[in-house]
Amino acid sequence: MILYPNAKINIGLNIVARREDGFHNIETIFFPVKGLCDILEVVHIPNQEQRVRFSQTGLMLNEPSENNLCVKAYNLLSSYIELPPVAIHLHKQIPFGAGLGGGSSDGAFTLSGLNNISEKQLSKEKLLEVALKLGSDCPFFILNETCYASGRGEILNPIELSLSGYHILMVNPGIHINTSKAYSLSTPKPSVYKLQQTIYSNPEQWKGIVVNDFEKVVFALYPEIGIIKDSLYQMGAIYSAMSGSGSTVFGLFKSKPDYAKVFSDYYTFYQEIN
């Protein structure tokens, strides 16, 4: 079984309140970017002594296998249903600590894939509950469609948001952002504009209204990321913002931007939205 866990961007992210359980209530729009993906292979190995064997290529972090969300997904799901012994190989292409949800996507796709090949499958509703135990963004990747999200990000309402015909450019400077630290430095507050309503306005009207509250904190720590956002606007973006807690910044364009020289030293991904 070969799967393609894709990235996401956040269009707007309001940190509304700090919760008693240590998490934060947010509101955001999760938008899947299906052109940028990792490659995940899951193979049933009947006589394998280990229940799950993991290997990885591509972008690498020096972390033990048991810390990878694919392995955690297997172990978590096996506490609910019986799973066959498998070998999992992940080819990593989505940058780490980039606000693109790569790890969460890998974990969620592993859950869905394993659930599909098991003899006794969990319902989608139950799988969403299990995914939340893996990570706050994981339930979104079970649905993997544009959603308005609230709570920790797990209360998901699919929405119709067409960006068809726009061009998206994502720029990552290779700075790894610690999400917990970014949250700890933030100042939660009720949003001025209701994102669920504002998002349906023309994207050319989003600038200054559809905001990411993490930008104030992250740009102060890493001014280079703020400069990327300014550069995207100078190139003609109709809207630009940081995704998640960073460090990736994306821009929406009416036509294909000439970005190769401007961002030659960065990890970039370009796609026309269909």
Enumerate the active-site residues.
8, 137
Determine the residue type at 236.
G
Crossing angle of helices 102-117 and 124-134, rounded to 10°:
140
Sheet holding 24-37, edge to edge: 6-18, 24-37, 147-150, 155-158
Strand extents, DSSP E, 64-136: 86-92
Instruction: State both tokens at 228.
Output: 């990327």
State the Cα–Cα distance between residues 246 and 266, nearest whole angstrom. Answer: 14
**φ/ψ of residue 190, rounded to 5:** -60, 140
Dihedral sign (CA 240, 241, 242, 244): negative
Determine the residue type at 248.
T
Q: How many other CB atoms sit within 10 Å of the CB of residue 57? A: 11
DSSP calls for 132-180: HHH-TTHHHHHH-S-EEEETTTTEEEE-----TT-EEEEEE-SPPP-HH
What letter does residue 49 receive in the DSSP assignment? Answer: S
160-165 long-range contacts, CB within 8 A, separation 24+: 161/11, 161/29, 161/31, 161/199, 161/200, 163/31, 163/203, 163/252, 163/273, 164/273, 164/274, 165/272, 165/273
